[in-house]
Amino acid sequence: MSFLILFIIIPVLTSIGIFFSKTHMQVKWTAVIGMSCQLILAGTLIYLFLAARAAGNTAEILFSQDVVWYKNLNIHFFIGVDGVSVAMIGLTSIVIFAGIFASWDVTDLPREFFTSLILLAAGVFGFFISLDLFTLFLFYEIAVIPMYLLIGIWGSGPRHYSAMKLTLMLMGGSALIMLGLLGLYFNSAPNGGPLTFNLIQISKVTIPMAAQRFFFPFLFIGFGVLGALFPFHTWSPDGHASAPTAVSMLHAGVLMKLGGYGCYRVAVFLLPGAAHEMAWIFLILTTIGVVYGAFGAIWQKDLKYINAYSSVSHCALVLFAVLMMNQTAMNGAIMQMISHGIMTALFFALIGMIYGRTHTRYINEMGGLMKVMPFLAVAYVIGGLASLGLPGFSGFVAEMTVFIGSFQHNDVFHRVCTILAASSIVVTAVYILRVVGILLLGKIRNPEFNHISDAKWFDRMSVVTLILGITAIGMAPLWLSDMINNGLVPVMQRILLAGPIIH
């Protein structure tokens, strides 16, 4: 039995434990214990993975396990990890751990809140360890559906509208994915033999071009909806703004990465021929997304909207890099997912904490918060600097890798896209610095703010975890990028085989 299954069992057990907890404190501590186990488990996984690779184990998938589930459809419960999924699992466990602490003051139906939150996490973990497309899709939907309750019950603002919009758009995306997966399944054995959902097996065959052309848009757009692909990103600002703190963290930090990961792992990896042909369409869309998201953030006055639009921009950059289809850019895409995941989780956590103290999210109504809540303010500045790509933080490493990778294409189209996308960094700097200036520096405008207190211990716990993540990647990016590169090798081989080598 592979220990990877624990990644699903622990959250499920935790949510069952929470469901039977009596008091508010019990609920929270059960959640903390469960997710600490998960964090330790993720740490162990990273260690074991690196150790196995160092020991010379070059298998494509490690710790795999294959159990037949539905025999006559050849559906398996097939789990295993490579470098990329290990990195994503690490990200998820950090964000969910911080998320538990960030939602320490949920008082309305806490049991249900934490149960849904952790079930959502179970779906995400399941998604990242699945190598069978059927279970991958199953976990994808499990991860999406609790959002409806989480935003609808515990959200703020027009929460019913946002929850419905988000759920329907994401499920619409999953409808496209389902069709794409069925298409992959029925074309998974072009030379005869049993049909399969096994991702690794499908990656060994060449799917007929006609089928690739038909199904690639379904898969890419389907996953792209969750990855905030322009113009299917509109659920994101509304959803993030209405969601409660921990949900925004988890959603922007992890769930949107499911989209990017799916595009990379399923759409581009399994249908590389069509990806080469159609990349230009989606490259235009993602370039628009990167620039549009950054400009969108400038105009917003609500902190959460600012961060939501900045997420759209950053996540579009992930898809942008995936579509560049060379090793460096792909590596950058994964790095960007991890970096943005932690960074945006930090932002949302801080926004939640600031809102909890000032009871407003409008930047014009705040000012001089540095004086009253220095800890949170400094954390915000750190997050901001990471977001605009200052060296030493994770954002710099990721964006640098992406743009170096995409500039390796020497044709005009790719260069223009790269330059446009890179220009978004300047815009990012504008809105980040503007917010920092108005929000944290200057005089305190509202006298009531004089009485607010700085971060409590649980706030600090959440923030410190995330900042550690950002700086660890920023200071020593090599171990992470080596691990990712390792996982990218088979993917790149398949992509290069399928299409014209563009350099």
Partner 1 sequence: MLIMRHELLLIAITVILLLVEIFLPAGKKSRIITPVILLMTAVMILGFIPGPTGTLFGGMYQTSALVIMFKNILNIGALIVIIQSADWLRKPENAEKISEYYILLLSTLIGMQYMVSSGDFLMFYLGLELATIPLAALAAYERFKEKSAEAGVKLIFSSALSSGILLYGLSMVYGTTGTLYFAEVGPAFIGTPLQVLGFIFFFAGMAFKISLVPFHLWTADVYEGAPINITSYLSVVSKGAAAFILTILLFTVFSKIAMLWSNVLYIIIILTITLGNLFAIRQQNLKRFLAFSSIAQAGFILLGMIGQSQYGMATVIYFILIYIFSNLGAFGVVSIISNRTGLENIDDYDGLYRTNPKLAMTMMLSLFSLAGIPPVAGFFGKFFLFAAAANHGLYILVLIAIINTIISLYYYLLVIKAMFLNRSDRAIPKLKSDFYSSLGLIICLVGIFAIGIFSTIFEVINGLSFGLY
The residue ranges that bind partner 1 (CB under 8 A) are 69-73, 75, 134, 138-139, 141-142, 145, 148-149, 152-153, 159-160, 163-164, 167-168, 171-172, 175-176, 178-179, 182-183, 185-186, 214
Rounded Cα distance, 181 and 223, in Å: 11
Residue with Cβ nearer partner 1 (178 or 284): 178
Q: How far is the CB of 133 from partner 1 (least distance, A)?
A: 11
Which residues have CB under 8 Å from 153's CB, separation 6+? 108, 109, 112, 113
Mind giving me the DSSP string for 332-371?
HHHHHHHHHHHHHHHHHHHHHHHHHHHS--BGGG---HHH
Which amino acid, 172? G
Q: CB burial class (10 A; 0-12, 13-18, 19+) of residue 473?
A: buried
State the nearest-atom distance from the C-beta of 335 to partner 1, in Å.
31
For the bound state, the minimum distance from the C-beta of residue 361 to partner 1, rounded and expressed in Å, comes to: 21
Question: Residue 131 and residue 66: Cα distance in Å, rounded?
Answer: 9
Nearer CB in complex with partner 1: 152/272: 152
Q: Which is nearer to partner 1, 197 or 292 (CB)?
A: 197
Task: Report the candidate in 72, 201, 187 with the shortest Cα–Cα distance to residue 132.
Answer: 201
Strand partners, 81: 62
Q: Cα dihedral angle (436, 441, 447, 450), rounded to 10 degrees? A: 100
By C-alpha distance, which of 2, 4, 1, 134 is closest to 76? 134
Query: Positive or negative CA dihedral for 216, 308, 122, 82?
Result: positive
Q: Which is nearer to partner 1, 51 or 67 (CB)?
A: 67
Q: Are 81 and 125 in contact (CB under 8 A)?
A: no
146, 169 Cβ separation under 8 angstroms:
no
Cis peptide before 146 (omega within 30 of 0): no
Compare residues 34 and 152 and give the one whose CB is closer to partner 1: 152
CB of 178 to partner 1, least distance (A): 6
Least distance in angstroms from the C-beta of 393 to partner 1: 37
Rank residues 183 and 474 by Cβ distance to partner 1 and give the closer one: 183
> In terms of CB distance, is 149 or 333 closer to partner 1?
149
What does residue 192 show for φ and ψ, rounded to 5 degrees? 85, 175
Q: How far is the CB of 481 from partner 1 (least distance, A)?
A: 34
Which is closer to partner 1, CB of 235 or CB of 393? 235
Q: Are 104 and 244 in contact (CB under 8 A)?
A: no
Q: Which is nearer to partner 1, 77 or 295 (CB)?
A: 77
Q: Any idea of the CA torsion for 362, 365, 369, 373, to the nearest 10 degrees?
A: -70
Phi and psi at residue 442, to the nearest 5°: 80, -165
Cα dihedral 452, 456, 458, 464 in deg (nearest 10): 100
74 versus 486: smaller Cβ distance to partner 1: 74
